[in-house]
Structure 1
Amino acid sequence: MKHYVTELRQALSRHQWAVPVFLLALLAMVMLPLPPLALDIFFTFNIVLSLVVVLVAVGVKRPLDFAVFPTIILVTTLMRLGLNVASTRVVLLHGQNGPDAAGHVIESFGNVVIGGNFVVGLVVFIILMIINFVVVTKGAERISEVSARFTLDALPGKQMAIDADLNAGLINQQQAQTRRKEVATEADFYGAMDGASKFVRGDAIASILILIINLIGGVAIGSLMHDLPLGESFRLYALLTIGDGLVAQIPALLLSAASAVIVTRISDADAGEFSDQVRQQLLAKPAVLYSAAGVMLVLGLIPGMPWMPFLAFAAVLVLGGWAMAKQPGGVQPAPDNLGLLQSVTAAAVQDFGWQSLPITEQLSVRVGYRLVSQLDPGQGAPLATRLKGVRQSVSEAMGFVLPPVHVRDDLTLPPNQYTILINDSIVAKAEVHADKLMAIPSPHVYGQLDGIPGIEPAYQLPVTWIDPKDKAHALGMGYQVADCVSIVATHVTRVVRQHLDELIRHDDVHALHERLNALSPKLAAALEKACPAQLQHAVFKQLLREGVALKDIVQIATALLDSIDTTKDPILLTAEVRCALRRQLVSTAPEIKAFTLGTELEQLLLGALSSARHTNKKVPLDNYPVDPSLLGQLQEHMAHARDLMKQQATAPILLVTPQLRPLLARYARLFAQGLQVLSFNEVPEGKELKVLGTVG
């Protein structure tokens, strides 16, 4: 027996039986007569639960902190309806026994509202129902419906914003999953609130019907079945009916108010408590309180007006404004102009020296004056923050730390233009609109948008700049929508990846060697002895120029050490490293689809290489003379092959012999950006090769 009791206690502690027990209790209230004491307990519990829910709704910082609220509305509504059925049975069966037939709670509430006048009590109760049904419940229902609709409409845009932040490096994968879960939970919450508001509205209608049934049925039963005088029957059953309705309407009104508070709160975890928001926003400016005090003073001085309460509230407002003005932080002190002048004068009289020369910035972004708001620390400096994420993301992908991205305004630029500079030389520029959103057409769109036509700077796609209010419309028509910060960050990412070889310096070679020393000390010592830093720098530059990451520094160092005794040519060493990293160069698909060189074209290029080496044995493999007509054909046919493979949704790859790969890789960067040139030695074992065509 003790064992079964222990198991029952554990099951109840895990709340496994909470829902079945509640449903059985609800069924019992509907079907079985309850004693007056039980009604008193249940009605008191209902009032206490409603008070707790209201206080929690006011205290939460954002609606999702009270995500169980829709379920609580459903549970309390069902319990209140069950209590109404139970109390109606008791009132109609035993109402002739006196006002306490249905319990002391119903009797007390009825006496308080009626106050000796049944008509006044009935009018007050009807007013309470009208307030609950017409004002609070109807407003909360409408807000819930609109909030659910707009939350669902904004769901794709929020998911795209999370993906953009993840791609820009502002958040990691775990944070992205947390934000996606929060967005989904928010949509579920407002959808549930939309449905729960229908229960609240139905409960208000049911309360009106129950009042009418109780009053008419009670008077009829008292007069016809218990031979009570009509006046006595009306007095007795009106007291019980109004008390019963009021003890149910007060919790219903509290829950309706809590529902309205929840759906009208702004979802902001950093906003603070509700009382803090009221103090910071409603009472933030003392001038507002002084103005209100002046209006109350004028009203109090009008002849015939009750001057005492008006002047009292005017004094309270003046006192409140004075207290707000005395709080620290209300007025910022003026800057010390004298100290500023002294510092400027001291800086002006300093001698000009080497430290005064400007420093060339490896990577920087300059913006026009209309984009300066994106650098404002008061607004979170969104552009600078996003570019820090870009730097982190690209650094992690390529295996070395990029230089910081310096962002500043440049008044010589057009208002909406920005430029990307590497070593203080402009490598790209474009125009964006800070107050608009860019709508990028997807493969399938359902119409045209009204806006400013433009070009997406990173990939040169035709786009349309739209107003922020048209974002939902653009998403619904199949467009992808991004703000100007995301566009600039994407452009900077693409430009940086195209110029990685210009961003790695000799200091980075030393940092990579320290990383290698931490991973494999003996290999690092052997490489430092066999391969000078200048040659390592040349190989690293060549690898980055071709888009090969330096993450696997151990494998790269091993390949260099194995080949350094054979050649000191950076291009040949790069080829050996590429062969060692061949699995990194291609996708994980089991099949490689590629174009190859035509036999005639291959023989012509090999003949050109042989002639160049006959003249100069040290001619670079990526820069020997080629017939101009042959160069023109390469320019046309390589771009054509790239476009054909993109149309087939295949990664553009050109397979060539190892001797021709350095030259054709350089031509691909010039003529057909995005075309990856691989040698046959760089194809991993186990990969099937499918030739889609030839470049001839």
Structure 2
Amino acid sequence: MRTRDLFILSGIIGIILMMVVPIPLALLDFLLIINITIALMIILIAMNTQQALDFSIFPTLLLITTLFRLALNVSTTRNILTEAEAGNVVATFGSFVAGGNLVVGFVVFLILVIVQFIVITKGSERVAEVGARFTLDAMPGKQMAIDADLNSGLINEQEAKDRRKKIEREADFYGAMDGASKFVKGDAIASIVILFINMIGGLIIGATFHDMTLSESLKTFSILTIGDGLVSQIPALLISSAAGIIVTRAASEGNLASDLTAQLFSYPKLLYVVAGTILFLGIFTPIHFITTAPIAGLLILAAVRMQRNLSRKAEETEHMVEEQKIEEVRSPESVVSLLSVDPIEFEFGYGLIPLADTEQGGDLLDRIILIRRQCALELGLVVPVIRIHDNIQLRPNDYVIKIKGNTVARGDLLLNHYLAMSPGIEDDSIVGIETSEPAFGLPALWIDESMKERAELSGYTVVDPPSVVATHLTEVVKRHAHELLGRQETKLLVENVKESYPAIVEELIPNVLSVGDIQKVLAKLLKEKISIRDLVTIFETLADYGTYTKDPDILTEYVRQALSRQITNQFASGGDSLKVVTIGPALEKKIAESVQQTEHGSYLALDPVSSQTIFQKVTEQVSKLVQQGQQPVILASPTIRMYLRQLLERTMQDITVLSYSELEPQAEIQSVGVVNL
């Protein structure tokens, strides 16, 4: 064993021997000073720890010091009752505190006991109890957070072990503190009992064995009893205060002194209020001005110095931030940040800044939140954050929408005007600036406030500039939704489904399909504006057919058939019949014969003349639907639907191509034309 181990063991054995073996008065004085020294060391260490675990030995130390203090009480009590003296330390404390008045001495001692027992000890005990309870309740959540960080790669295995060990030590520490606080409480009760034993026993023994008169016995043993109580209670008060400091340290970033100065004196303006209140008391109350003026002056001086320090720190912080930005620009790694591309960007000229500036009444940010919610409900897609910023290279009233850094749409706005779209019958009395509606390309007019009411009475659709932008942005997001869905976004959707339907995901990924395969299927659905919100049905279908084929085109067709109710409601809602253009037998046969099968999949191989003929025939029939104000829909057989869609999307991106198996049997279908060769 090491020397320090032997020293600690010898000390513990010595404490136990003190309770049964008489101690010389000189050694007793030395041990009493040691007790006070240890108490001072403990409270100073408690004040300078940053976390409770920095003083994790405190519960054990609390038991040892309590045992040591009780052993000293037993030794002093033995000397008081047998020899009517307990050394210079006890006599000094008793005579100095009492000041020749026994009543004052008893009152001071009782006040110390009450403060320790009722205020500090009870409070520390309650805080330790609550701290232990909440620490134990929070353990499962903290363990799950550690596991989540470990699984996501934020921490390594060793860091996870260290954090778990810290959580276990915190639980053990607060549990030990909850029990150790009972020692201090019991010590306070024992001090009161020992007080009465020393007093009553001293009076009896003094009169019986020491031939003292009643007054001499009362004076001698009262002073010794008070001194003994004070020598015991002052260290006990210090240690119980240290216990309170330890268990009440929460969310601390430094020791007690730094936290006090940083948090208590962080509001210099409040010190002026306090100084004014103190001056008011000195001027308008019997409290003399001479008493309050120095205190108020010190507060004002402290407030001035604090304001200067805060201003200097703010300047230093701003200077450091600027230097860091300069260093980041100079460093080679700063170029890496330029490689990132935002999924969606909305750039506008300086004339459109009021659209996004909330202080000028702009609500574009709120409208974008609604756009993301709308896309989530209609398409089942979590739209990435849309970055909004001005661009001085644009004309003042122009804006552009970018997808992954490339411009996909642009438009212009007149903020003090309204966009009026004609109902089909022009009204010559409506005058304005001719333009095109940016989302759908319809002819429109920019009209001013005075013309708005007349346009609405004439049947024009009148919208304000923010609504024009919101509509345009919504349509762009829907049109390019398939480009916004990557593997990372797909993985997030998969994880969301896994929380409620783990069996589907575990069977599908990665045994049947990979995340990339699923992303391709979902992107193909979004490209044709089919909502992917019903991911459970989509995953069920992919799990059923993914074992037979990995071709995303074929898997997409199976999924579309599984979503037949959704597709029917989307294109034939409201109980109206679905007006479609059907494909004739000759054209279906031509397309089926032109499909080429390869090891990488199948594709449509038509000669240019046939392709041009098909485009012309489809355009003629689709125009009939457009003239009737209907959405153009082409209906084909399931075997050629995807090939026909691949052919038509080159020139007619917005046209919808459905198959018979994608519509519910009860859906009412009305053919308004046939495309044939």
Counterparts in 2 of 1:580-595, with a 5 A limit? none
Q: Does structure 1 residue 413 correspond to structure 2 residue 413? A: no
Pick from 283, 286, 294 the counterpart of residue 268 of structure 2: 286
Which amino acid counterpart does residue 197 of structure 1 have in structure 2?
A: S
Change (3 A) 1:365 1:167: farther
Matched, 1:128 2:84: no
- The residue type equivalent to 1:412 in the other structure is I
Residues 492-523 of structure 1: CA deviation (Å, up to 9, x unaligned): xxxxx8249989xxxxxxxxxxxxxxxxxxxx
SS in 1 for 2:219: helix
Q: Counterparts in 2 of 1:165-244, with a 5 A limit?
A: 165-244=149-228
Select the structure of larger CA radius of gyration: 2
* Counterpart for residue 124 of structure 2: 140
Residue 647 of structure 1 is matched in structure 2 by none
Shift of 1:458: 1.6
Distance 1:326 1:191 in 2: 45
* Structure 1 residues 247-295: Cα deviation after superposition (integer angstroms, max 9, x where no partner): 0101000001101111111144xx1232221122111111010000000
The residue that corresponds to 1:150 in the other structure is 134
| Structure-2 residue corresponding to 1:459 | 497
Distance across 1 between alignment mates of 2:372 and 2:181: 47
Counterparts of 1:415 and 1:37 in 2: how far apart (Å)? Answer: 86
Does structure 2 conserve the Cα–Cα contact (< 8 Å) formed by 1:125 and 1:242? yes
Query: What's the offset of the Cα at 1:157?
Result: 0.8
Give 1:419 deviation, angstroms: 2.7
CA distance in 1, matches of 2:166, 2:371: 38
1:138-195 CA-to-partner distances (Å, cap 9, x unmatched) read 1111111111111111111111111112222221211111111111111111111101
Deviations 1:475-497 (A, max 9, x none): xxxxxxxxxxxxxxxxxxxxxx8
User: How far has the Cα of 1:197 moved from its partner?
Assistant: 0.3
Q: Given the alignment, which residue of 238, 253, 257 partners 1:275?
A: 257
Assess, with a 3 A threshold, how the Cα gap between structure 1 residues 619 and 23 changes in structure 2: closer, same or farther. closer
For the Cα contact (< 8 Å) 2:596–2:602, is it kept in 1?
no
Between the aligned partners of 2:130 and 2:119, the Cα distance in structure 1 is: 17
Conserved? CA contact 2:596–2:603, under 8 Å = no
Check conservation: 1:420, 1:426, Cα contact below 8 A.
no
In the alignment, which of 40, 45, 49 is matched to residue 51 of structure 1?
A: 40
1:127 to partner: Cα distance: 0.7
The Cα shift of 1:300 comes to: 0.4
SS of match in other structure, 2:370? coil
- 1:323 aligned residue: 305
Supply the distance in 1 between the matched residues of 2:48 and 2:281 (Cα, whole angstroms). Answer: 36
Q: Could you tell me how far apart the structure 2 residues matched to 1:42 and 1:68 are?
A: 22
Aligned residue identity for 1:316: L
The residue aligned with 1:434 is none
Q: Which amino acid aligns with 1:82?
A: A
Deviations 1:321-343 (A, max 9, x none): 0111111546857999xxxxxxx
Name the counterpart of 2:515.
498
Q: In the alignment, is the contact (CA less than 8 A) between 1:300 and 1:310 conserved in 2? A: yes
User: In the alignment, what sits opposite 2:245?
Assistant: 261
Residues 530-549 of structure 1 mapped to structure 2, 5 A cutoff = none
Q: For structure 1, list consecutive stretches of 5 or more residues without a partner in the other structure.
A: 1-10, 96-100, 337-357, 367-408, 431-454, 464-496, 504-545, 547-569, 572-611, 630-696
CA distance in 2, matches of 1:299, 1:456: 69
Residue 82 of structure 2 is aligned with which of 70, 84, 93? 93
Give the counterpart letter for 2:369 in structure 1.
Answer: L
Q: 1:160 matched to which residue of 2? A: 144
Distance in 1 (CA, whole Å) between partners of 2:8 and 2:285 is 64
State the distance in 2 between where 1:415 and 1:258 align.
57
| One-letter amino acid of the structure 1 residue matched with residue 106 of structure 2 | L
Cα 1:363–1:200 change in 2 (3 A) is farther
- SS of residue in 2 equivalent to 1:458: helix
Q: Structure 2: how far apart are the matches of 1:429 and 1:458? A: 18
Kept in 1: contact 2:143–2:164 (CA 8 A): yes
What are the within-5 Å matches in structure 2 for residues 335-346 of structure 1? Answer: none
Distance in structure 2 (CA, Å) of the matches to 1:115 and 1:103: 18
Query: Which amino acid in structure 2 is aligned with residue 219 of structure 1?
Result: L
Task: Quote the residue 1:98 is aligned against.
Answer: none
Residue 288 of structure 2 corresponds to: 306
Q: 1:361 aligned to 341, 349, 358, which one?
A: 341
Task: State the match for 2:28 in structure 1.
Answer: 39
Q: Measured at CA, do residues 498 and 428 of structure 1 come closer, stay the same or move farther in structure 2, by a change above 3 Å?
A: farther
- For residue 96 of structure 2, the aligned residue among 92, 107, 112 is 112
In structure 2, relative to structure 1, the CA distance for the partners of 1:326 and 1:47 (3 Å cut) is same
Q: Secondary structure at the match of 2:383?
A: strand
Specify the code of the residue in structure 2 equivalent to 1:116.
G
TM-score calculated relative to the size of structure 2? 0.52
Give the conservation status (yes or no) of the 8 Å contact 1:363–1:423. yes
RMSD: 3.9
State the alpha-carbon separation in 2 of the partners of residues 334 and 164 from structure 1. Answer: 38
TM-score normalised by structure 1 residue count? 0.50
Whole-Å separation in 2 of the counterparts to 1:415 and 1:154: 38
Amino acid at match of 1:37: A
- Residues 420, 427 of structure 1: 8 Å contact kept: no
Classify the secondary structure of the residue corresponding to 2:154. coil
Counterparts of 2:484 and 2:76, CA distance in 1: 77
Distance 1:233 1:61, change over 3 A: same
CA displacement, residues 316-361 of structure 1 (integer Å, 9 cap, x when unaligned):
111110111111546857999xxxxxxxxxxxxxxxxxxxxx9993
* 1:102 positional shift: 1.3
- The corresponding residue for 1:353 is none
**Contact 2:372-2:383 within 8 A present in 1 as well:** no
CA distance in 2, matches of 1:617, 1:332: 70
TM-fit CA distance, 1:92:
0.6
Change in 2 beyond 3 A, CA 1:623/1:197 = farther
Q: d(CA) in 1 for partners of 2:124 and 2:602?
A: 71
Q: One-letter code of the match for 1:458?
A: N
1:46 positional shift: 0.6
Letter in 2 for 1:23: I
Residue type matched to 2:368 in 1? T
Partner SS for 1:17: helix
Amino acid at match of 2:267: K
Whether the 8 Å contact between 1:419 and 1:428 is mirrored in structure 2 is no
**Conserved 8 A contact 1:111-1:239:** yes
Q: 1:303 to 1:360 in 2, by over 3 A?
A: closer
Quote the Cα distance in structure 2 between the aligned partners of 1:61 and 1:245. 33
Q: Which amino acid aligns with 2:114?
A: I
Q: Deviations over 1:544-582 (max 9, x none)?
A: xx9xxxxxxxxxxxxxxxxxxxxxxx99xxxxxxxxxxx
Aligned-pair CA distance for 1:616: 6.0
In structure 2, distance between residues paired with 1:335 and 1:45: 47
Q: In structure 1, what is the equivalent of residue 53 of structure 2?
A: 64
Instruction: Supply the distance in 1 between the matched residues of 2:107 and 2:250 (Cα, whole angstroms).
Output: 37
SS in 2 for 1:208: helix
1:620 corresponding residue in structure 2: 600
Letter in 2 for 1:620: H
* CA–CA distance in structure 2, aligned partners of residues 277 and 78 of structure 1: 33
